[in-house]
Every structure is written in C-alpha cells, then in structure tokens.
A and B are shown apart, each in its own frame.
Chain A
Amino acid sequence: MTRQLPPFGEGVRDPNRSLSNHACWAGQGSVTLNLKKPEARRLALDLVATCDVVIENFGPGVMNELELGYDALRRVRPDLVMFSMPAAGLTGPMKDIRTYGLSLTSTTGLDSLVGYLGGPPIPVENAFSDPLNGIFGAFAILTALHHRAATGQGQHIDYSQQEAVMQLVGPAFLDWELNRREGGPLGNRHPRAMAAPHGVFPCSGDDRWISIACSSDAEWKALAAAMGSPAWSAAAGLGSIAGRLAHLDAIHEHVAAWTQGQDVNALAATLQAAGVAAAPVLSVADLLHDPHLTARGTFVEVTHPLGFRETIYGAYVKMSVSQPAVRTGPMIGQDNERVFREILGLSDERYQALVDAQIIF
C-alpha cells in the first residue's frame, strides 16, 4: 500500500518510486507471491524453512487463515522465531480492535497527555508508534534469538503495539497507581515538574522557536545572566525550583519577550556557551541543512536502481566497528530469481511455469 504514496522519484507515479517509505525498506530484498494460491503457500513454507525469523503485522488470525500460522511454520522450521505485532496483541477482548498507527496511542493514555496546558488533547499528526514499534520489535526478536542461541528453542513472540507504546506512559501510570491522579496536557512543561523554565520560545523569522530547559538552579542562574540579569529574574524565591514553578507562566512570558526577535541559532550557541540547555526547534527543511545532523550523516543520498537519486535516512545509530552500509529500498520482486532459483533451487522450467501461472508475479 505504501508504495502508492506520493511523492515519487522524478515525479513519475510508479510503485517503485515512492519516496516516502524507501528509508524503512533500505537494504531489504523483495519477492512477490500470490498467497491465495496453494503453490505459493508451499513456496513460502520452503522459504521459511531457510529462515531464522518471520515478521508479520496482520491482525490476529490472518496468518492462520493463510495457513501460515506459527504451527504450520514451526513444522518446517522447528527453531523459528516468529514475530507477530498486531495493534493490541494476539489475545484478549480487544485483540481485534481497529486503529490507525496514529490513533493506537489513544488506548495507552499517551494521547491524553499531549496538548497545551489545561486544554484538550491535540493529535500528533503521524504515527509515532510505527517507527517506535518497528525498532523496538527488533529488540524483541533479538531477545528471542539470544534465547535460541542458548537453548536451541524458537518461539512465537506476541508483540502488542499498545503494550509497547504504553511503556512511555510509565511515570504517569505510577501517579495513577500511587495517588489515583490522572495526568493531562502540560504543553512543554516537564512531565514531573522538575525543571523551570522548561518550554519553547519564539525567535525571529517564520515559525522559529528555541527550546530551553533549566533542570538545576545553576542553569537558571546562567540563563538569567545571559538575559542580562533583568530585575524580574532577581525576585525573591526564583532561586529555587519550587519558587520558579510557582511563577512559571510569568517566567515563560519574560523569557519569550527576551527571545523574540533573536536569531535562533545564534541564541542557542550563546546560551550553550553560558551553560544553558537550549537548542533550535527544527522544521523538516532544517533537518537537511542543520550542521549537526549534516556532520553526523543523518541523511544520505543513494542511487535507486531506476537511476534517480534519492535522500533517505542513513544509519541513525553510529557503530564503531560494524557501521551498516545503507542502500535504497527494493523494487517489487527484484529478488525473485535469486530466491526461488538459487536459494530454493527451482529449475528454469519450473520457475517460468510459476511466473506464467502468476503464482510468482
């Protein structure tokens, strides 16, 4: 489905040219099988027999309907690690819940915490849970592979995206447990009220902001000094975090009046030099030009097999020994011949017959 999403490489609408998702598939292979046909399912089983891990994100029961459930796969690969990641897990009264990635978070309590102070919940406009669950799912699979290395035993991982994302609510959950208190939107305030000031403040230009967080009295003193020690900052009580929290709205207004009109990058550098945790709030366009992300090679340009150049994210974790080489995402079915003829050993005739019958297509 995501192959149909614009924008497309060189503006040509083509399922091999969707720019929006290639980064997620970087380095992967692709085969095409029509799983509605029994012969395709047999090929899938033959392929699974050569694999360590199967990853799927259908709703609960769909793999069983395809006759590719864990029991079927385990018969051909006894130590298989199978990873299923439905929205709310494989069992339980809500297992068949329908959500989108961006609304799944509403069932964890997380969405109830996003918004301006005292206001209604504001929707996060893309599925934060999608990349989070993809990456964290890799951790789940690796734990099972570690267990397999020690015992020889595979298993079927029941990964509920809801339960994984709900971990982010941990501190607020404990407030419910210990005090029966419901959290709510806090704007950019510290979730545990342990830093002040703590927010984003306007700078010069269109929609430019700087984040400033003072988690210690020393940081606050440094900020006050950087602002030129205005009279209001010397008011009694502001030297302690409790005092600053008591006057947080007024402090934030003062800081905003000071940041307004200043250049965000110069201000961040000035505040950092003074010992204040401050950083620019980046836009999408900034991501590609920010000197820090540029220096770290966060985004890289690669050449797609169709010849166009595209920019995707690179290895966003830097490994000192085994840094991965990032390649473009696969064309549909680009690995059919390698997989079905070389790995599974189909003869030329048999392979061609399967292609002609649209089993491999």
Chain B
Amino acid sequence: MSRGALAGIRVIELGEGVSAAFCAKLFADYGALVVKVEPPGRGDVTRTWGPFPGDVPHPEKSGTYFFLNTSKKSVALDLEVGADLARVRELIAGADVLIENLPVSELERYGLDPASVAALNPALVMISITPFGHTGPYAGWRGHDLNAYHLSGASHRYCGRPGEAPLEHGTFAADFFGAMTAAAWGLAAVLGRERVGSGQHLDVSSAEAIAAAFVGGQNIGGYAQDGKWERRTGVGMPLGAPATILPCADGHVWMLALEPGQWNGLVEVMGDPEWAQLDMFQDMFQRAQNSDVIYPFIEEWLADKSKFDVMARCQAAGVPVTAVFLVGEAAEQEHLKERGYLVTLDHPDLGRVRTLGAPFKLPASPGGPSRGAPRLGEHTAEVPASGSEGRRQGVPPVRRRFRRSAPRACRSRASASPTSAGCGRARWWARRWVSSAPRSSRSSRGRGST
C-alpha cells in the first residue's frame, strides 16, 4: 500500500473541539502519525456533541468526533496530573509538530507555552489555533467559533438581512477556516525547518484569518482610501441580477445569469417570455436596479419547477445556475460517488460508517481517512511511562539534523533541564510506530545506536 504524502511527520494534538482536531486530521489523513491527547474519562468534548445513532449519547459514537479524528491515535493523559504531563512533554520532545488550541493561560499553567516548548524541542513546529490569537488586547478573552466568526467582519458585511442579526455560516466556519489556514502555514514551517534552521511557533487567530483573507482582501483597500464601506444586503450580489437564492417547487436554486450569454441562455430556458424583452432587463446592472420587478417574474417561472431540473437545463444552456443541495442530496450525488469522495470505515462501536474522504486527490500518494476515529485512550499503553525510555539512547534524530544548520535556535537546548530534555523520544516514536517513520529517522536511528 502506498504511503501517504506526509508519512514520517510526527504530530501531537492537544486541546478540544473542532479547530485543532480538524487541522491534525488533515495531517493524519495524508499519512502523518498523529497522536491525540485526550483527558481520561471524558475525552474530547466533541465526544458529547453527536450526532449519535438514534440520538442515544455514547462517547464512542459521536459523528462529529468521528469525522474530526479519523486516522489518529488516542492517548488518554491528564495534563493536571504530573506523571501524565511528563509523558506529554516527552511526546512533544520527540515530535515534529504540536497542534493545539488551548487558552494561553492553560498553556502557561502546564509549562507548554511556546517558549517552554521551544526549549524542550527546538526543531518543533508548534501550531496554536485560537479564536483571537496569542497577542493583542483580546488574547486572554474567552471565545468560541461564534465569537471568532462575528469578529471577522464576515457576517456584518456578507450574511443576513439588513436590520436583522448578522449570521454565522451554518457550521463551525471560523474553526474550519482557522484549521485549514493553520495546516497550510504549519506544513510550510515543517518543510522550511532546514532552511530557517529550526522549528518555530505559529500563532493562528481564526478571526484574524477570515478578517484578512475573506473580508479585508476585497474591502479594506477601498475603505482605507475612500472611507466607504458596505454591509450585508440579504441579496446574493446586489449590483448585478439575477444573482440570489430563489425558491422553486421543491426547494431553492442559486439563480445566476449576469453576462449577456448567460442571460440569453436563461431567457431561452424560460421559454422566451415577453417580459424578458423589456428594456429595463437588458444588462445585469439595469436588472439589479429593477430587481423588485425581475425577481417576481423569475420566481413565478420557478414556482412549479424542480431545482435539479432547473439546474440541468440551465447548465446545458451555459447558465451557472445550481440547485441548493440539502446535505443528504449533496451526500448522495452521483458525481461524488464516481470520484470516490466518500469512504466507508469500520469502527468497533459505530460499525461501518461512511464519511467524507480526501479533500484533494494526490495520485502518487493517495490521502483520505485510513482508519476510523480511535476509542478514547486506545493507544495509551503504547506510550511509555515518563523517563522509562533510555536517556542512554542518544540525541533524537530530528535535533541531530538541526545541530549543524541551526546553531542559534538550538543553543536553547542547553538551557532545558536534563529531565525535560531527556533523550530518546524521537527514537521511541520511530521504533514504536515504525510504519509511519520517515526514511531520515530510520537512517538516523542507525546512526544514533552507535
């Protein structure tokens, strides 16, 4: 079986909820070895979120947990317990990447703040994903996905009716956006370690990422120069028409026909109605100015039509109209089945579960979920007790690699205490789960054993 593209990368995941888990899942599904640390007894909070089969709560049957944690290992260790914390620190000392979403105050309490972690493992890439980030006046604030999304400007600008509440995106949109952003920048930092001579810390604020890349990108330049800014209208694209979601017989369609060819195509699909020849409908801007006239006309036409029929006929005429798929309709579409997007995995408690597969296809090194989500603490026994692995076993290979190229970053190793910076964890990682170990680690292990 082909190994995943990220085989050889060792990841520790700390924290709860969506953002860190989804970021780490992306690494795991593409072949990295990901060890998720969960509190014993209760586990990650998403184990309580469901959906559960038949709505019967069970810590091993949460659909949200299952989706977010495929291809990972779970170790149950309590950061509040000294011996467990020491084992976590040993795992971190031998890892390539730490992905976490703990509040800054908790990181400090556990001695896992970025400076302490860098002293423990200078080659580590530490990825922190929080709603607001580690610096700035809101750094100590409590926050959830909802707070982050609404702080980004996305809802006020782009979602909801005027005069009514701005809306979230219908899912954990900030957590997901932050996680994908963190995965991209974090993997760049992993690949760039040799070049910069060390690991580093990445401070990802999910609110800031959306504020910058989604909202700021197209709004902030004009506002800074001209002082003009806009807010949500409740319409898809208020400057052109048709460009909105409209109801039809069995649901809704995204009605878009802006360019002349698209509009002409739509008129043809609608059977060339007389009203469409009116002067006020001859370009997208005029149509938008007369949206109170044109949208009722189109709605009338849609009233007895099925959304997938409208989509098929419009697409065939070159008009970019799509059905608003319900989740089940999206799940069952033939296109995704033919592309093999959906994968079925075995799970000891859930049975056979179908879930979303690889978000992109790598022909030479296929990715996607390879195992169902782990049971709570399923792999705890594989982690040695603190200090049980030999200090006799030499310097971890990752740090060896950096010794020559990174004098400045690695100088801090000297300041780490002998117990915290004890040796052999990377060797332990490599030996323990050798199927995921990188070539470089294997060869380093050979050298290290002399």
| Mask: chain B, 159-186; 1 = CB below 8 Å from A; 0 = not | 1110111111111110011001111110
Residue B274 CB within 8 A of the other chain: no
Our pick among A98, A154, A295 for the contact of B318 (Cβ within 8 Å) is A98
Our pick among B49, B167, B188, B252 for the contact of A187 (Cβ within 8 Å) is B167
A24 touches B217 (CB 8 A): yes
Residue B447 CB within 8 A of the other chain: no
B200 touches A321 (CB 8 A): yes
Known: A106-B322, A171-B64, A317-B181. A140 touches B360 (CB 8 A): yes
Question: Which residues of B have CB within 8 Å of A102?
Answer: 236-237
Residue A131 CB within 8 A of the other chain: yes
Known: A114-B159, A122-B159, A283-B157. A7 touches B221 (CB 8 A): yes
A322 touches B189 (CB 8 A): yes
A171 touches B63 (CB 8 A): yes
Which residues of chain A from 239 to 280 have any CB-CB distance to chain B below 8 Å in the complex? 272, 275-280
B330 touches A169 (CB 8 A): yes
| Mask: chain B, 1-40; 1 = CB below 8 Å from A; 0 = not | 0000111110000000000001000100010000000000
Known: A92-B339, A158-B360, A185-B170. A287 touches B153 (CB 8 A): yes
Residue A14 CB within 8 A of the other chain: no
Residue B245 CB within 8 A of the other chain: yes
The 3 closest A-B pairs by CB, nearest first: A174-B63, A113-B170, A19-B221
A175–B362 alpha-carbon span in the complex (Å): 28
State the Cβ distance, B220 to closest chain A Cβ, in Å: 6
A158–B341 alpha-carbon span in the complex (Å): 12
Residue A35 CB within 8 A of the other chain: no
Residue A33 CB within 8 A of the other chain: no
State the Cβ distance, A132 to closest chain B Cβ, in Å: 6
Please count the residue pairs between chain A and chain B whose beta carbons lie under 8 angstroms apart in the complex.
Answer: 514
Size range of the chain A interface in the assembly: 35 or more
A113–B235 alpha-carbon span in the complex (Å): 16
Question: Which residues of A have CB within 8 Å of B66?
Answer: 174
| Mask: chain A, 19-40; 1 = CB below 8 Å from B; 0 = not | 1111110000000000000000
Residue B191 CB within 8 A of the other chain: yes
Which residues of chain B from 124 to 172 have any CB-CB distance to chain A below 8 Å in the complex? 131-138, 140-161, 163-172
A318 touches B202 (CB 8 A): yes
Which residues of chain B from 370 to 412 have any CB-CB distance to chain A below 8 Å in the complex? 409
Known: A97-B322, A215-B144, A311-B221. A163 touches B63 (CB 8 A): no
B5 touches A143 (CB 8 A): yes
Question: Which residues of B have CB within 8 Å of A10?
Answer: 225
B354, closest chain A residue (CB)? A177
A296 touches B225 (CB 8 A): no
List 13 contacting pairs A-B, 8 Å CB cutoff, sorted by A: A94-B333, A113-B169, A142-B184, A143-B30, A143-B187, A145-B191, A146-B187, A147-B365, A163-B341, A174-B355, A187-B168, A312-B217, A321-B198
B319 touches A98 (CB 8 A): yes
Our pick among B7, B182, B228, B231 for the contact of A283 (Cβ within 8 Å) is B231
Question: Which residues of B have CB within 8 Å of A156?
Answer: 363
Known: A173-B327, A175-B327, A277-B142. A111 touches B245 (CB 8 A): yes
B166 touches A182 (CB 8 A): no
State the Cβ distance, A186 to closest chain B Cβ, in Å: 7
B204, closest chain A residue (CB)? A317
Residue B215 CB within 8 A of the other chain: yes
Residue B334 CB within 8 A of the other chain: yes
Q: List chain A positions with a Cβ less than 8 A from chain B.
A: 6-7, 9-11, 19-24, 88-89, 91-95, 97-100, 102-104, 106-116, 120-126, 128, 131-132, 134-140, 142-147, 149-151, 153-160, 163-164, 166-188, 190-192, 194-195, 198-200, 202, 207, 209, 211, 213, 215, 219, 272, 275-288, 290-293, 295-296, 298-299, 301, 310-314, 316-322
A144 touches B224 (CB 8 A): no
Our pick among A167, A194, A284, A296 for the contact of B356 (Cβ within 8 Å) is A167
A139 touches B180 (CB 8 A): yes
Our pick among B52, B132, B188, B356 for the contact of A142 (Cβ within 8 Å) is B188
Question: Which residues of A have CB within 8 Å of B328?
Answer: 109, 176, 180, 182
A296–B66 alpha-carbon span in the complex (Å): 35
Known: A177-B331, A284-B219, A317-B181. A163 touches B171 (CB 8 A): no
Known: A93-B338, A109-B326, A292-B138. A139 touches B187 (CB 8 A): yes
Question: Which residues of A have CB within 8 Å of B150?
Answer: 200, 209, 211, 279-282
Residue B359 CB within 8 A of the other chain: yes
A316 touches B254 (CB 8 A): no
Question: How many residues of chain B get a CB closer than 8 Å to chain A's CBs?
Answer: 162
B23, closest chain A residue (CB)? A139
Question: Which residues of B have CB within 8 Å of A112?
Answer: 170, 252, 324-327
Residue B289 CB within 8 A of the other chain: no
A157 touches B141 (CB 8 A): no
State the Cβ distance, A117 to closest chain B Cβ, in Å: 10
State the Cβ distance, B243 to closest chain A Cβ, in Å: 8
B256 touches A103 (CB 8 A): yes
Question: Which residues of A have CB within 8 Å of B304?
Answer: none
A168 touches B136 (CB 8 A): no
State the Cβ distance, A27 to closest chain B Cβ, in Å: 14
A293 touches B211 (CB 8 A): yes
B151 touches A19 (CB 8 A): no
A131 touches B217 (CB 8 A): yes
B176, closest chain A residue (CB)? A168
A151–B224 alpha-carbon span in the complex (Å): 48
Question: Which residues of B have CB within 8 Å of A114?
Answer: 159, 167, 169-170
A150–B9 alpha-carbon span in the complex (Å): 11
A213–B145 alpha-carbon span in the complex (Å): 9
A6–B226 alpha-carbon span in the complex (Å): 12
Residue B285 CB within 8 A of the other chain: no
State the Cβ distance, B447 to closest chain A Cβ, in Å: 18
Our pick among B212, B341, B409 for the contact of A298 (Cβ within 8 Å) is B212
A172–B172 alpha-carbon span in the complex (Å): 11
A23 touches B183 (CB 8 A): no
A149–B213 alpha-carbon span in the complex (Å): 29
B166 touches A123 (CB 8 A): no
Residue B306 CB within 8 A of the other chain: no
Residue B247 CB within 8 A of the other chain: yes
Residue B234 CB within 8 A of the other chain: yes
A123 touches B6 (CB 8 A): no
Residue B55 CB within 8 A of the other chain: yes
B335 touches A94 (CB 8 A): yes
State the Cβ distance, A287 to closest chain B Cβ, in Å: 5
B51 touches A22 (CB 8 A): no
| Mask: chain B, 316-350; 1 = CB below 8 Å from A; 0 = not | 00111011111111110111101101000000001
Question: Which residues of B have CB within 8 Å of A209?
Answer: 150, 156, 165-166
A277 touches B187 (CB 8 A): no
State the Cβ distance, B354 to closest chain A Cβ, in Å: 5
Chain B CB within 10 A, most for which of A19, A142, A213, A215: A142
Residue B444 CB within 8 A of the other chain: no
A109 touches B325 (CB 8 A): yes
Question: Which residues of B have CB within 8 Å of A296?
Answer: 133, 135-136, 205, 208
